[in-house]
A and B are shown apart, each in its own frame.
Chain A
Amino acid sequence: MTRRSIPILALALSLFSSGHVSAQAVLDQPSITLDAAVKMVNACEALAKSKGWKVSIWVVDDNALVVHMKHMEEAPIESIQTAQMKAKSTKALLSSTDPNDPKSSIGKMMREPRGQVMAVLLESFPDGGGLPVMVGGKFVGAIGVAGADGAFDAQCAQAGLDAITKTDATSKK
């Protein structure tokens, strides 16, 4: 490193540390909070308990990485993995994992071989129970539920989503 480059580096560093970075250089990446994730899991669990369903629930962030997870007592063991897969699937789908949901892209994909191959390559789990959390058109996280019937899993995930969209917990952060 030359002598001249050192002050330049220092200047660049000070720019970063003082936050004088132009708006184009750094973008906001919204991500779901733990508080919101806990609300989602609690709402889904409350519905499951009232109906007698035993489920595993994952909430992942905008990076499809776990934020909060709960395995209800006596929920099937494989539901731990399928619930996680459903949550992660929504990142590529940006819609529900339910093939019977007319608004979901997975339904279209399941109806033709090319789409089925795409679903495999995108690791999209084609069963109800996965829902993305979209805020301002952006994917900020997702919920995945498994262990009951696919339709019940979907209801449970929806209850979780309703818990934060009604109070709008994600926009508070």
Chain B
Amino acid sequence: MSKQIASRAALFVAVLSLFAAREASAQVIFNKKTISTEAAEKITSTCLDWYKSHSVRGKPTVWVLNANGDTIYVKRVDGANRVGVETARMKAQSALYLFRPTKAVSNFAKTPSGAPNPGGEAMLVLLNGYTSAGGLPIVVDGEVVGAVGVGGMAPDQAQGIYPDEQCAQAGIDAVFKK
């Protein structure tokens, strides 16, 4: 009986060591990169500092997602619109899933020559692509590690000024600009 147990134990150890060997050779997992809460906090506070030092119409909400799209940090300025909260979230999600600034997401709806592209428009709808400026992916060494969405501040489209995006960019630059 004890011999049987011993042989079973030996087999068990052998199997375990096989697993351990596989893990060591890094075939079982690979590491994705994702933004930390600390970085999200810094991005948000820098963005809100940018808002305080610029005269803009409207009040911002800042929404930060990690690489998997989980909400890890949010701040909303007192009196900010409800719609700004929703758009901040949608911009962050669009920027993350489509790995480009939300300002560029509208390019899906056009061909490179600028003609309407109905297939691209359908893609935007199916992928929940939100097209107004203010969402930026956070890219580190070519990998999307998270996204920031800012909503609530009024753009000046004639002048090409998008405070939501400038705010998000200021935040990302504060942490990741080399």
Contacts and interface: CB of A to CB of B under 8 A. Distances in A.
Interface in B45-73: 61, 68, 70-73
A17 to B, nearest CB: 18
Nearest to B48: A34
Interface stretch (B1-9, B75-83, B128-136, B153-161): B75-83
Contact of A66 (B68, B74, B78): B74
Contacts of B75: 34, 38, 67-69
Contacts of B78: 31, 33-35, 173
B172 interface: no
A73 B36 contact: yes
Nearest to B77: A34
B85 interface: yes
A122 to B, nearest CB: 21
Nearest to A36: B78
A69 B44 CA distance: 11
B73 A70 contact: yes
B37 interface: yes
Interface residues of B, number: 17
Main secondary structure on A side of the interface with B = mixed
Nearest to A58: B74
Contacts of A67: 75-76
B82 A80 contact: no
A66 B76 contact: yes
A85 B147 CA distance: 23
Interface string B22-39: 000000000000001110
Nearest to B73: A70
Contacts of B85: 65-66
Interface in A19-33: 31, 33
B76 A68 contact: yes
Residue from A31, A35, A71, A73 whose CB has the most chain B CB atoms within 10 Å = A71
A94 to B, nearest CB: 22
A135 interface: no
Interface of B: 36-38, 41, 61, 68, 70-78, 82, 85
Given A65-B85, A66-B74, 7 more contacts: A31-B78, A63-B82, A66-B85, A68-B74, A70-B37, A71-B71, A71-B72
